[in-house]
Structure 1
Amino acid sequence: MLDPERVGELLGVPAVEVADRGSSHSWTLHQVRLADGREVFVKAAHDQAGVFAAEAAGLRWLDEAGPGMPVAGVLAADEHHLILPWLAAEPVTAAAAERFGRELAALHTSSPPSSYGASWPGFIADLPLDNSLTSADAGEAWPRWYAERRLVPFLSRAAGHLSGPDVALIERVITEIETLAGPPEPPSRIHGDLWSGNVMWSGGRGWLIDPAAHGGHRETDLAMLALFGAPHMSRVLSAYDEVAPLAAGWRERVPLHQLHPLLVHVALFGGSYRAAAVDAARAALG
């Protein structure tokens, strides 16, 4: 699927060496050395124009929050390739985790959008996301936006792996969303799929990759980061809270924000994630 000649055309520098780095979902992953000595990371697919366009748009939009954002830069993209700088992985230190917490807080609070959603069609993995824009009214629009654009569509996708009572429980979360969502917050620029595998640790800091970026609730990113465990998570949270303190009760709302990604996992991987999604719904309801 990778076309080294096309990579060279996109970057204006010939590709001279390619190392395959596995695959993910519907695309393959590659490390490419260019004739000028640079190395780049390339996702390649037969046809993932929508996914690659959404990822490129999301990375660029996150980076527009301000200087020094922890966002991997987009070098080029077309319908078959997404090209980013090569980031050499390194062990995560406590100092890097704290820096990431501060930088994530700055991303969430700098240059906030005026609406929930995004101006481009969204994807999470290779599943479509409804990014329909909804103007924020003192943050009060988010609960219904989250319910209708995230929970309802993925409950439908996951329903074949859920029992009738499971579906009824999650429908109750959707019905009661306004009382579960906590105090109103304005929209933030959020990554939208911030599990630990979408943070690349390199150069003493964490870099955001593979976003499902949109205007959303900042607690969503933190809940997702905690879902599968992130290194030095307590330090990330402490540093984040120093820059942008979280609203009271945020820990109790973590399951609500984790419910959508867990439904995504049920839709993608089946019943092995059913119990976790049902537990999150039950915990969200208290």
Structure 2
Amino acid sequence: MTWKRYVAIGDSFTEGLGDPDPDSPGGWRGWADRVAGALAARAEGFAYANLAVRGRLLGQIIEGQLPQAIALGPDLVSVSGGGNDLLRPGTDVDALAERAEDAVRRLRETGADVVMFTGVDPVGSPVIRRTRGRVAVYNEHIRGIAARHGAYVVDQWAMTVLRDWRMWNADRLHMSPAGHRRVALATLEALGVPTGGDWREPLPPLPELSRGARRLADLRWAGGFLVPWVGRRLRGRSSGDDVIAKRIALAPLTLHDD
């Protein structure tokens, strides 16, 4: 397939947090920009929009970004959402999946191809692993939705390389440039687009940390990132409250080698 009008919708994962943009100081690049660059190299007149905003719940993505995406007339849309919902213990996973399926159905009815994402396995996280059961159930829904509607799936749960903390930013919530690059390669593979890299390539081993060093790292993470996150939740605030999408219109993309 050759796509020429790609729109990405979602939350911080799709916005690209953790992967600094070399062309926009203070801005973010991310896996979606990397995928768009690879697609642009294959299609003359390629255009790309990214409507994702950090902190968005799935309902906010569907209500705010989905209509904008459809109005742009894309031939490819990436949809990633629900991760922020799953961090909340009372989330109805089945109802969440129903909303996701309705969004995919609406996109497919326009003739656009859709790529979806399962959640990463949080088994190695000292706190977020408590969501593992909810994430696993939601992932099964994602796979079923994709099968029913002919969508592509990037199975991040199966990407064991993402369990390496070098694939993540210091906040343990957003991927590092290395993580975004691996997801971009996996997305292109799912789309059947040839790439010059393999997301499965193993990283060199790291020295084993002592239990005390791991505990100290966890405490520093909790103080620096977990406590502020909980504070925002208690105040009813989101990290994306004052953020607008970085690419609200379809436009050409600056190409990079990686």
TM over 0.5: no
Measured against the shorter chain, the TM-score band is: under 0.3
Instruction: Say which one has the larger Rg.
Output: 1
- TM-score, normalised via structure 1 length: 0.24
- TM-score, normalised via structure 2 length: 0.25
Which structure has more relative contact order (CA 8 Å, sep 6+)? It is 2
